[in-house]
Structure 1
């Protein structure tokens, strides 16, 4: 393709744009009128070649028009990654107009999650768009404590093995569902993908015997299903979900730290090995930003390295290095195209964490001023929703508003009512009562059968 003028794009026909049943595929080139050349040349082709440009309002409109006309899924997915409180209303109305349904739904859900902040501006949209947003269930948070498997002798304790959701109106954690008796959340991998909660691996007993099975909770049907475990039994690993796949990263097996990585394809229900990490690591800090996976690896005594996994090349690529004396990146959280590395404070002070921000678009590091309180490891459970970060421990749940690069405390709620390590994840929580003990036993009998 090449630029003719700002209202005409000349396209050299290729098999990616037209099927063999369309007349256009038999022409060497076609002229597309009333389609902005910038949306095609500068934005769509850039995204198709692997770039991830940040777009302003005018560029977003041209990109949506172009993505709809060419049914360009990579561009539509990139637009979803760009959603924020400044552009979500624009994306919502434009995607509804041009028929980009997935972007429309993502935008509507983003608005619903930030409804109180965007309520006045939402009133400016057509009534049917307002009603659709208000019909959605806001995404909330679920948290899981550390539980081992439950034997027959321990069944009376099964009702304490629960997944809880945050009721933000009552400001407390309530029971969502009970864990299957054979599921372990002790040193297991936990993540959410396509609004399903996955519990993979873990250990049972003081001898850290790996649990080979995996479990999936569907919040809509309020049911658990059994899945195969990774090929290499592992625990104390990081699990993250993206684009129909689960990634089990690093961890331990037989008390040996591993660098291996496995990918679970959800549609095919199969595990396969991927490129290993540059070095063995357990409990690695990991996050996803702009539909990309990043990990933070540490080399003594002051080097924190950010690596990105490139799926189509099956490689881990060094993105950037942060040098901080005796400082270890314990957790990463992502907001838009920013990676926040949360690390211990001076002299291994874990009660006062420091934070640095890496922008994956500009490649620049920013040191976030001041210390952040880390009472009982709260910051190590950071989860992002909209323009807020939620942190959790047994004492309190604290919400931060992200203003610029700063995290500013804005709301405090009750903590999670359980000792031990915690995991917090975002989920569209339809509110159900937890299954009764007979339901739990029924699941166990079904699995044995």
Structure 2
């Protein structure tokens, strides 16, 4: 391991040369150039803050530090100067309602354009909460935020694929979005005739909707194909199915890959996990889960994948999948008497696990919060009503959580250790399980056709 010295301001850092070459385009270009600086005992970088460089080294070493406003400014400056993609991605993960305006302005100043775009999208999603602060921005920056497409709450019911004689029922096979101005649901698109959302894996990656697996009919014949919906072009594409046909799986997307986690195959619960690369359009097996599981609770926080596995009678274990090492790592355990985690949703670096009460009263749920940065558990105060599974449809946008059932769509505000009801809208008129997610729908794609009542 070759060690190099880098002087930033008045501070000197000794670090692994290969780490700098891997993560920083600046150092790759420097050492390719053959300039005299790369042969010196010490590389001197002027007009940068040492703390920003220290943060960059920490991220390169696998840490994910929380940052103050001053540290964010220096990290953005450093990420832009050294062209450090890992640091830029970490800053994207840290976006919140508390720092989005700061990141938006600083990323424009230093030319960190992907962070600038993501900050603008984040601000657009919580526009009403920031209107007073936005008024202090330059007009062109306000106009750029206004040009962004906000994320909307989208839902689709559980449907098997349609045979020709089932066409009259096809009117219910629709993907719908919530019109928050009219507080009602409208049709976005219809499912392909061959697609099934019954016991399927459903997720969104890069603003495209993916449906993988699922079953045909009551005999639970696994669906071989997968489907992708492009909301911008309003088109469905056909994708290959996983190598191991599966249903009752969990599907989640991260960095150009879909992960089909566990599920059932040929009426047995499985532990296998497959990855689909959306660029190469190929499926491949990755490390198995520690044990077989179907319909596992799963969430993505800070660009990290977490699942919650259950061990009778009282142990819920949260594992993280680490793509670079292709391994599942036990993160923490939640010990609650006769409690089973049914759903998990993430907000910032918090995982909210939604579980039944010890008496198995599924209409009254308890929630616990695990912070992945501090490693601390917090019990959420009180009970949360869960009429017909509303909390099992939780989706986070900004500091809001959207949930729904047939009678009501409820928006909560995350405030400290509580979820406070904020807004109530029309319920989603579908029987059975419902899949929920966020999509950015272009204005010209929105129509006024209402869903079936």
Q: TM-score range by the shorter chain?
A: over 0.9
**Alpha-carbon distance, 1:255 to partner:** 1.0
Asked whether the 8 Å contact 2:37–2:43 carries over to 1, the reply is no
Matches within 5 A, 1:170-319: 170-319=182-331
Q: Equivalent residue of 1:370, what SS?
A: coil
Asked whether the 8 Å contact 1:7–1:36 carries over to 2, the reply is no
31, 36, 58: which one aligns with 2:44: 31
**Residue 248 and residue 62 in structure 1: after superposition, are their counterparts in 2 closer, same or farther (change >3 A)?**
same
Task: Name the residue aligned to 1:442.
Answer: none
Q: Equivalent residue of 1:416, what SS?
A: coil
Q: Whole-Å Cα distance in 1 between the matches of residues 396 and 229 of structure 2?
A: 21
Asked whether the 8 Å contact 1:11–1:32 carries over to 2, the reply is no
Q: Whole-Å Cα distance in 1 between the matches of residues 284 and 435 of structure 2?
A: 25
45, 62, 69: which one aligns with 2:81: 69
Q: Whole-Å Cα distance in 2 between the matches of residues 406 and 266 of structure 1?
A: 37
1:146-179 alpha-carbon deviations (Å, 9 max, x no partner): 1110112222332321000010001111100011
Task: Name the residue aligned to 1:389.
Answer: 401
Q: Equivalent residue of 2:246, what SS?
A: coil
Task: Name the residue aligned to 1:18.
Answer: 28
Task: Name the residue aligned to 1:411.
Answer: 423
Asked whether the 8 Å contact 2:155–2:434 carries over to 1, the reply is yes
Matches within 5 A, 1:149-188: 149-188=161-200
Q: Equivalent residue of 1:342, what SS?
A: strand
TM-score, normalization: structure 1?
A: 0.94
Q: Whole-Å Cα distance in 1 between the matches of residues 89 and 34 of structure 2?
A: 25
When structure 1 is superposed on structure 2, of 232-241 and 403-412 the one drifting more is 403-412
| Matching of residue 398 in structure 1 with residue 410 in structure 2 | yes
Q: Equivalent residue of 1:419, what SS?
A: coil
Q: Whole-Å Cα distance in 2 between the matches of residues 39 and 340 of structure 1?
A: 31
CA RMSD of aligned residues (A): 1.7
**Alpha-carbon distance, 1:182 to partner:** 0.3
Asked whether the 8 Å contact 1:139–1:426 carries over to 2, the reply is yes
1:395-421 alpha-carbon deviations (Å, 9 max, x no partner): 111101000121111111111111110
Q: Equivalent residue of 1:148, what SS?
A: coil
Q: Whole-Å Cα distance in 1 between the matches of residues 184 and 9 of structure 2?
A: 55
Q: Whole-Å Cα distance in 2 between the matches of residues 58 and 7 of structure 1?
A: 19
| Matching of residue 325 in structure 1 with residue 337 in structure 2 | yes
Query: How many pairs were matched up?
Result: 434
Q: Which runs of 5+ in 1 are unaligned?
A: 437-449
**Residue 2 and residue 175 in structure 1: after superposition, are their counterparts in 2 closer, same or farther (change >3 A)?**
same
1:79-110 alpha-carbon deviations (Å, 9 max, x no partner): 01111111000000000111111100110011
Q: Whole-Å Cα distance in 1 between the matches of residues 327 and 282 of structure 2?
A: 20
Q: Whole-Å Cα distance in 2 between the matches of residues 226 and 3 of structure 1?
A: 51
Q: Whole-Å Cα distance in 2 between the matches of residues 210 and 156 of structure 1?
A: 24
Q: Whole-Å Cα distance in 2 between the matches of residues 331 and 205 of structure 1?
A: 26
